[in-house]
Chains A and B, each alone.
Chain A
Amino acid sequence: MSERHETAAGNGVLAIEGLTVAIGGKEILRGVDLTLEPGRVHGLAGESGSGKTMTGLAVLGLLPHGARVSGRIALAGRDLLSLPPKQLNAVRGAEVAMVFQDPATSLHPMLTVGRQLTEHMRHHLRLSRGEARERAIDLMRKVRIPGPEEAIGRYPHQFSGGMRQRIAIAVALACAPKVLIADEPTTALDVTVQAGILRLLRGLCDDLGLAVLLVTHDLGVMSAVADEVSVMKDGLMVETGPRGQVLVEPRHAYTRALLESLPENAGNAAAATAGAEPSEGEPA
């Protein structure tokens, strides 16, 4: 494994500084700092409600209506939070792309896969129909969909869950983004399929120099693909560091609690009381 450069801004493609989000007077994020570097996967862990998904959505400007945002999200010298909508639209899908949890709902059921793969390419990259189609077939091959020429004319329901998530990743990659935000990309999938998707994500990250923000609650997934790991709790980052350190020698008590609550670490006797959520103290 190559030696890491300093994490500080400078070589980061996307830098989030002091991000706060409040919805309806409730503070969801309370000052989040995060730097994504090309070719590296940054994992974001935490319980539900800790603000990990909101962090991802904030980068794309997809926060719910009425959300009050402050701080800075810098992408190539621009602050995404202060961009006018038109310029932000040019960034979304082209420079920053997102993969959602459930491929069954993130793909449009009534449009062919080819249409969903080419629409934004034609818009952002101004490709002709033929060029876009060619590129779409290429992308399908890259995410290892068998028979891409024929698959491109099919609809999402004709694919299995794992294939659909591959297609969703292909859609996200279509305009060669610099940053990919993957929000629980494997949670809805079988473990055997998950293994394939994780390998794919890791490979794309290494080959294309993509900066990936991987939001997941699964510390196993985190351990498999993330280079850096951040742990969130109540809208704050409690710990950030290299994977090996955070998952093996966590400094923060909350990270330790998360790790100790895993069935692997709780031992067989305690397995009945251990849960995914450490705050949950249900009797066995």
Chain B
Amino acid sequence: MTLLKVDDLVVEHRTPGRPVVRAVAGASLSVAAGEVVGLVGESGCGKSTLARTVCGIGRPASGTVSFQGRPVAPLGLRRRDSSLTGIQMVFQDPYASLNPRRRVGDQIADGLRTAADTSTTPADLLDRVGLPREFATRYPHEFSGGQRQRIAIARALAARPSLLIGDEPISALDASAQAQVARLMRDLAVESGAGLLFISHDLSVVRLIADRIAVMYLGKIVETGRTDEVWADPRHPYTRALLGAIPAPDGAGVLPAELPGDVPDPASPPTGCRFHPRCPKVMDVCREREPEFGPVACWLHEPA
């Protein structure tokens, strides 16, 4: 069953005096219940904007986001409709996403109240994320980054989400805590039958936890597929470049291949295929027409 469906989503950032930046330019994506989808791409490609729009922070310029078959309304001043509290987000920086002046137990209890859950206690949730139960009376500053992110996950889980979104939830963490926290998110989501949209620029972690992978470039999803298939046989030149840039720990001293150029300015994207100025396999058609098909949006892999 499709839990989340994003269809041809366009999100624009408007700043007075600047050109309109189209951060997400027609992206489509779906997440099924119990499925872990990894969204990867370079910084500035629109991953976070997509995630924020999915949970209603930010308003789409066009396209639709639907959750359990109902459209996601942008957050306003009024209390969020209870059907939408099934989407919960874990933010990038646990130093900023937890309130420093409230005990962590109270912050987790907010989530429990949202789900009208009277049988679970904050301590139970701390238990589930692998922290001692007595930590509920402490304040966020008493914890390390990895522990804080676990608390943020506990708070998100308290609302009994059917879709968990992690917006770079591990990038602010110490390197060795990253894999642990990522796997914890996966286990907890899958255990409770929820879907997980996991956004990261770290491909090696996404590979560990995602069932399906979506590669984003400059506001568009350029390739989707099962993680092992994409990993074994990346088809889009951009996916190839991304995977090729990961250095192998083989002791051979080979410097990873460098993808020439920078991510273009999303305010003035190149014509035709958005990747063509950096693409090693660019053809004439790439400069003129944008490949608007899937699962691999590349003229080399046009579906018959």
Name A's B-contacting residues (CB within 8 A): 1, 47-49, 160-163, 184, 187-188, 190-196, 198-199, 202, 217-225, 227, 243-248, 259, 262-264, 268, 271-272, 274-277, 280, 282-283
Contacts and interface: CB of A to CB of B under 8 A. Distances in A.
B43 A160 contact: yes
Residue of A224, A245, A262, A280 with most chain B CB atoms under a 10 A cut-off: A224
B178 to A, nearest CB: 7
Given A202-B255, A263-B208, A276-B175, A220 B247 contact: yes
A248 B187 CA distance: 32
A217 B241 CA distance: 23
Q: Is the interface of A mostly helix, strand, loop or mixed?
A: helix
8 closest pairs, A vs B, by CB?
A247-B251, A220-B247, A219-B249, A224-B247, A217-B175, A275-B179, A276-B179, A191-B245
Contacts of A193: 42
Contact of B177 (A48, A259, A271): A48
A224 B179 contact: no
Contacts of B204: 263
Interface stretch (B83-91, B117-125, B257-265): B257-265
B238 to A, nearest CB: 9
Contacts of A219: 249
Given A244-B252, A264-B248, A271-B207, A196 B174 contact: no
Given A192-B42, A192-B245, A223-B253, A272 B208 contact: yes
Nearest to B241: A192
A223 B201 contact: no
Contacts of B187: 282-283
A225 B255 contact: yes
Nearest to A223: B249
B257 to A, nearest CB: 6
Contacts of B96: none
A274 B208 CA distance: 8
Interface in B217-249: 228, 241-242, 245-249
B251 to A, nearest CB: 3
Contacts of A277: 176, 179-180
B208 A280 contact: no
Nearest to A221: B247
A195 B201 contact: no
B58 interface: no
B259 A264 contact: no
Contact of B249 (A199, A262, A282): A262
A200 B142 CA distance: 39
Looking at chain B, what size class is its interface with the partner chain?
35 or more
A195 B245 contact: yes
A280 B180 contact: yes
A277 B249 CA distance: 15
Nearest to B253: A243
Given A271-B207, A275-B183, A264 B249 contact: yes
A246 B251 CA distance: 8
A48 to B, nearest CB: 4
A194 B245 contact: yes
A269 B220 CA distance: 32
A262 B247 CA distance: 12
B176 A48 contact: yes
Interface string B178-211: 1110011001000000000000010110011000
Nearest to A249: B251
Contacts of A190: 42-43, 201
A239 to B, nearest CB: 13
B251 A195 contact: no
A247 B201 CA distance: 25
Nearest to B42: A190
Contacts of B256: 191, 194-195, 198, 224
B254 interface: yes
Given A192-B258, A268-B228, 8 more contacts: A160-B44, A161-B43, A192-B245, A194-B247, A225-B255, A247-B250, A264-B248, A275-B179
A99 B174 CA distance: 17
B137 interface: no
Interface string B32-73: 000000000011100000000000000000000000000000
Contacts of B2: none
A48 B174 CA distance: 7
A196 B258 contact: yes
Contacts of B253: 1, 223-225, 227, 243-244
A162 B263 CA distance: 11
Given A192-B242, A263-B204, A283-B187, A223 B250 contact: yes
Nearest to B209: A272
A152 B185 CA distance: 42
Contacts of B180: 275, 277, 280, 282
B207 A195 contact: no
A224 B254 contact: yes
